[in-house]
Amino acid sequence: MAFKWIEKLTQLGEPTTQKVNDRDELGMALAVLMLEVAKSDFQESDSEIQSMTAWLKSQDLGFGHDNVTRLLDSARGEQAQSSGLFEYTRRACEQMSMEERVELVEQLWLIAYADGVIDKYEEAAIRKASELLYVSHSDFIRAKFAAEATSKREEQ
């Protein structure tokens, strides 16, 4: 009984640790979701990796280039052992606003467009993730068109 009391007292002084853990879990969830799209066409191109790396660095997750590379490596292992996307989309839903989730869906589309070809499996993976993130179909379509426009601008 005394040990539980001491444990609770020590947990009171650790709010920053919890925030760091939440941020790390969110980073892992985002990386796994992006890798799911990148690998759904059975290829992971350099342009897709660059797109994922740039977006993860731009998020307020506290990751530098080396940390993002390590995160993606860890996420590859976790994705290989994963039984589905629900766990990762649940983490994202718990920690992200609807606007941020729509932005994530747009990023998933940008990853799909990064290699210049939208594979039917990439689209299916994005649709599945979008549904599990509770993003409406109209936002799903808007994100697709926004990503397509951004992709075309970057090509020119």
Quote the pLDDT of residue 54. Answer: 85
* The dihedral sign for the CA sequence 9, 87, 52, 76: positive
| Residues 124-127: contacts with CB under 8 Å, at least 24 apart | 124/40, 125/36, 125/37, 125/40, 126/37
Residue-range domains of the chain with CATH: 19-151 (1.10.3680.10)
Those residues with Cβ within 8 angstroms of residue 84's Cβ, 6 or more apart along the chain or in another chain: none
Task: State how far the Cα of 156 lies from the Cα of 151, in Å rounded to an integer.
Answer: 9
What's the pLDDT tens digit per position in 86-103? 999 999 999 999 999 999
| CA proximity to 28, closest of 94, 80, 72, 86 | 72
Quote the pLDDT of residue 43. Answer: 81
Residues of the chain predicted below pLDDT 70: 1-23, 62-65, 156
Quote the pLDDT of residue 153. Answer: 84
* SS3 state of residue 14: coil
